[in-house]
Structure 1
Amino acid sequence: MALATIVGAGADAGSVVFRWCIQTFTRLFSGHADYAASPGSGHPRLPWLGPYFVLLAPVLGGLLYGPLVNRFAREARGHGVPEVMLAVAQRGGRISPKVAVVKTLASALTIGSGGSVGREGPIVQIGSALGSTLGRVATVTEGQMKLLVACGAAGGIAATFNAPLAGVFFALELILGSFSTEAFGATVLASVTAGVIGRAAFGDVAFLDLPDFHVDHLAQYGLFAVLGVVAAVVGVGFSRFLYWVEDACDWVWRGPEWLRPAVGGLALGLVLLVLPEMYGVGYPVLEKATEGGYAIAFLLLLLVGKMVATSLTIGIGGSGGVFAPSLFIGATLGAAYGIGVHDLLPGTAGAVGAYALVAMGAVFAGAARAPITAVVILFELTGEYSIILPLMLAIALATTVSRLLSRDTIYTLKLRRRGVDLDGPAPGARIGAQRVGAVMEPLPSPLPSSIGLSEAAHLLSLSGHGALPVVDEAGHYVGVISAQSVAEALSEQPETAPTRVAQLTEPPAPVTVDQSLAQALHTLLSAAGTGVPVLDNEHGRPVGWLSHQSALRAAHTASSA
């Protein structure tokens, strides 16, 4: 807990430095605090160039961050979150400390010179690198190391966006991929610490100034539901387009990698010249869209332009996040949708801004498939409880449709394209590639669901297993009972405690004979006992038993071979 607090404070310090770097480089390259707030204007110190300076800014920025990333930390390229997810899933939470420094400079240079990316990916990677470094210094266990990495991510999100709850759920939902009391407590401490210091540094205001949200008519929920489905399609489309552009850049470029951002910056400069609203993160444009400040045609142009500019920034080797672009795309989509339904149903549709806000969360949920984070961060941005119901509806539908359309999210797709499966074995690992059927043990004698707990306790104590399978009166498998649950039940008052095995039986997540051991380990490690039944593929009947010991024997066999 003490280390989590320190990591939260460190992530906030990193956030302060990072935001200062972005502001400094933005003023240096554009002459404005945020060029997106005055698109099309010239550089105050280069008036003879007029708006054409945007052709040179990405090139100069690329000449600076290209060699920096290529020489010192290539993992700082791109949007950062996938690298943190990979470090937690397959590298024991180990992240090089130099990533924090290189990511800060590279991302600030990318955004300041016109790169159309967000700052959440960099600050997650920066905070996570700080957490990993502290974990190595303190010589913590691997589990604690992963937790400190998540604390760094939570603290970074909380400080950067003044959204402490979103920081917690971002870390749990995307970085750790699981929820536990210990993880929740640690990430909350880190997020609160970062949030308190961040509010002292940046003020107690949300990073976006969004309009009030109101639902004026029950029929609007149907419109929000349709918007959630559309947002899912757009979110998945953004993910695919992002990597299609990256593939195109890889195919075109044949020169040294350190020069790629500078040469590619010419193409990005052309996009910024045509659509200067794409310069940097673009929060002023997003806010104006939520206020209904643009016509439908221009909103759709902004939507497509953001997809192109963000994808091109990442494709040429830029460093920055995709969370803010997802919000931008959602805001323009929702505003265009809101104007359209308002013209069709003027007495029912309600305010345009409501659709823009809901679509922001729904597009992010469709792209990242992180529904809890999407709901919480939009709630923290608006501070209005009335947003919850329509937001939850749209985000739930967006997440479901996204899952039907794509196996991967915008984060995991990057890793899978590199041949990395977060649920599979790490490359070169001695355990994980084997099939469960090849390493499982014989199935222990099952317990009838009708026997009492005292008899079950006796049989569990003789079995040598911390859990046993359970069958009903017809001999059909119904689940597993653990020694822990039986001991807890026997310690309760007789009047309220369960009396039969059937009352404590729970079916664990299915593990099948043809499943890889790496995938089955996730179920085994989260199981209440020391093992789980292995089911056949056709009928779902238990045919073997996977325990921690059998998994370790598989590792020993692999090393001996």
Structure 2
Amino acid sequence: MGAGQDSDRGANGTAGAGALEQPNLVAPVDVPALSVRFWVLVAATGVLAGLAGAALMVLLHATAHLTYSYRSGSFLTAVERAGAVRRVAALAAAGAVAGIGWWLLRRWTGPGGSEVSTALWRDEGHLPLRRSLGTAVLSVVIVGMGASLGREAAPRLAGAALASRLSDWARIDTAHRRLLAACGAGAGMACVYNVPLGGALLTLEVMLGVLSLRLVLPALATSCIATAVSWTLLPTGPTYRLPEVPLSASLTVFAVLIGPFAGLAAVGWVRMVRVAHEHRPAGWRSVVAPLLVFTAVGALAVPYPQLLGNGKDIVQLALGAQLAVPALVALLFLKPIATAGSLGSGASGGLFTPTIATGALLGALAGQGWTLAWPAPAAGFAVIGAAAVLAAAMQAPVAAVVLMLELTRTIDALMVPLLFAVTGAVLVSRRLDTPSIYSVRLPAQ
């Protein structure tokens, strides 16, 4: 799914048959010239994606504050104060909302998918608006209640669905429809994390599978417009805060060595996601499964409250070296299991922050041993691990590096070590013929 796939395309512009190739049947590089009308649609998509993303995040935070009865402070602090019984009860309630909500949504909206990847690569950029927006709302509600899933799936889906509806209205061709839907998805991601450049690269490298000069401008425009619009309601600071980490020989050598291990961790994580997706329940089981799985996650959160939510607080704790070795080991195994289990129960949610959390835990744990022999700032280990696992799991090294830069805004000195780790991780994952966490959930043809 990364930019390197462009060199693997045949002369007709279609992708090859390898597991890593872009599933599009119509290559994005074949998009005709962009007309004035298309640029108007780009601007409209950016505005709508920004408004939708901001509204969804307001709903997410309102749900979290209501569920755990807090007005300020971090989500993790509120969960810890809530107590064991409330954690289990909140997750059980989230499971009931997920199971009943999506069952009703399917009955109300009828057949049709609401996955961005499937729409872009199999359905010519078409997304049903009601079902997609309903799925997005349910997704942020259960994440706000503590589900171990990422929050980015909802704004990505909403942005792509709104772009798809604009395409219907403007009656544009399939190539432009796909491009606009991908830009809408990237813009939705960009605005909720305040990562305009990262959102544009996500559009190009992950969703379109190619870095092309013709496609860069619409991707940048939609992400920048959406991010600026979201500033009216959402914070403008970095997602993660960490102390300044100077460049050191210790971190550079560590990055070279940890890269392949991060790649193996990403391979295991992607395969776990594939198994979970393949075993999603159907029929009446789709109502019961979320209740059972979410309640089990709530029980695990009694000793490990960090499991609840998308994993943002885990990353912050790892960056601040606030987790002891036993907690790092436990969370490194339990967080992916909780997230994959939640996805496998039939719930809809993102994998972006859970993937970063897995990488940060791996880097922090490895760094605990490394620093005994060759000391280095603890935050550097977590950032390097997070970027490497994210890059290999998304099959998007450029987007992953830029996203980590924008999410933290303080890793300039770590750029060379970061690139070493990302390169090693992606090489291992590609050597093992591993798809991305997005393409692995495509339905079988």
The bucket for the TM-score relative to the shorter chain is 0.7 to 0.9
2:86 maps to 53
* Residue in 2 that maps onto 1:528: none
Task: Verify: 1:305 aligned to 2:334, yes or no.
Answer: yes
**Who is 1:371 aligned against?**
397
Q: Quick one: which amino acid aligns to residue 389 of structure 1?
A: V
- Determine the structure 2 residue equivalent to 1:358: 384
Q: Give the Cα separation in 1 of the matches to 2:280 and 2:139.
A: 19
Deviates more, 1:135-144 or 1:277-286: 277-286
Shift in CA distance, 201/255, structure 1 to aligned 2, threshold 3 Å: closer
Shift of 1:154: 1.9
SS in structure 2 opposite 1:127?
Answer: helix
Secondary structure, in 3 states, of the residue corresponding to 2:158? helix
Provide the residue aligned with 1:330 in structure 2.
359
Q: Distance in 2 between matches of 1:196 and 1:246?
A: 35
Q: Which residue number in structure 2 is paired with residue 262 of structure 1? A: 291
- Establish whether residue 404 from structure 1 lines up as the match of residue 434 from structure 2: no
Cα distance change of structure 1 residues 95 and 249 upon mapping to structure 2, 3 Å threshold: closer
Q: Does 1:221 align with 2:252?
A: yes
Name the structure with the higher helix share.
Answer: 2
Could you tell me which residue of structure 1 aligns to residue 413 of structure 2?
Answer: 386
Q: Could you tell me how far apart the structure 2 residues matched to 1:337 and 1:407 are? A: 23
Number of the residue aligned with 1:446: none
Q: Is the contact made by 2:68 and 2:78 (CA closer than 8 Å) also made in structure 1? A: no
Superposition TM-score, scaled by structure 1 size: 0.68
| Structure 1 CA distance for aligned equivalents of residues 125 and 218 of structure 2 | 16
Task: List alignment gaps of at least 5 residues for structure 2.
Answer: 1-38
CA distance in 2, matches of 1:134, 1:258: 33
Deviations 1:439-470 (A, max 9, x none): xxxxxxxxxxxxxxxxxxxxxxxxxxxxxxxx
Specify the SS of the correspondent of 2:80: coil
CA distance in 2, matches of 1:203, 1:72: 31
Distance of 2:320 and 2:184 partners within structure 1: 34
Equivalent-residue separation in structure 2 for 1:126 and 1:361 (angstroms): 26
- Tell whether 2:49 aligns with 1:23: no
- 2:135 — aligned with what? 103
Following the alignment from structure 1 to structure 2, what is the Cα–Cα distance between the partners of residues 207 and 383?
9
Contact 2:124 2:178 (8 Å CA) reproduced: yes
**CA contact 2:128–2:161 (8 Å) conserved in 1:** yes
Which structure has the highest strand share of the two?
1
Do 2:276 and 2:344's aligned partners in 1 also have CA atoms closer than 8 Å? yes
| TM-score w.r.t. length of structure 2 | 0.84
SS in 2 for 1:56: helix
Aligned to 1:86: 118
Give 1:341's match in structure 2, choosing from 347, 358, 370. 370
CA distance in 2, matches of 1:192, 1:254: 41
Q: Which of 194-203 and 87-96 deviates more?
A: 194-203
Check whether the contact 2:79–2:87 (CA below 8 A) recurs between aligned residues: no
1:232 maps to 2:263 = yes
Structure 1 outlier segments of 4+, above 6 Å: none
The aligned residue for residue 66 of structure 1 is: 99
Secondary structure at 1:259's aligned position in 2?
A: helix
What pairs with 1:55-204 in structure 2 (closer than 5 Å)?
A: 55-73=88-106, 83-204=115-236
- Contact 2:133-2:157 at 8 Å conserved across structures: no
Check the 8 A contact 1:36/1:282 in 2, yes or no.
no
Over alpha carbons, which structure has the higher Rg?
1
Instruction: Spell out, residue by residue over 1:394-427, the C-alpha distance to the aligned partner (whole angstroms, 9 max, x if none).
Output: 1111111011123322222222xx324xxxxxxx
Give the unaligned 5+ runs of structure 1: 43-49, 421-561
Partner deviation per Cα, 1:126-148 (whole Å, 9 max, x = no partner): 11111111111111111111111
Counterpart residue identity of residue 224, structure 1: A
Q: Secondary structure at the match of 2:301?
A: helix
Q: Displacement of 1:319 after TM fit?
A: 1.8
Once the 2 structures are TM-superposed, how far is the Cα of residue 158 of structure 1 from its aligned partner? 1.4
CA 179–366 in structure 1, closer or farther in 2 if over 3 Å, else same:
closer
For residue 292 of structure 1, give the secondary structure of its aligned residue in structure 2: coil
Structure 1 residue 247 displacement after superposition = 5.4
Q: Paired residues, what number?
A: 400
Query: Partners in 2 of 1:307 and 1:161 — Cα distance?
Result: 21
Contact in 2 for aligned 1:365/1:395 (Cα 8 Å): yes
* CA root-mean-square deviation: 2.2
State the identity %. Answer: 26
SS of equivalent residue, structure 1 residue 274: coil
For 2:404 and 2:283, the matched residues in 1 are separated by: 42
Q: Distance in 2 between matches of 1:246 and 1:151?
A: 25
Looking at structure 2, the residues matched to 89 and 61 of structure 1 have their Cα atoms a distance apart, in angstroms, of 31
Q: Which residue of 2 aligns with 1:419?
A: 444
Shift in alpha-carbon separation, 1:187–1:247, aligned structure 2, 3 A: closer
Classify the secondary structure of the residue corresponding to 2:236.
Answer: coil
Say whether the 8 Å CA contact 1:99–1:129 is kept in structure 2: no
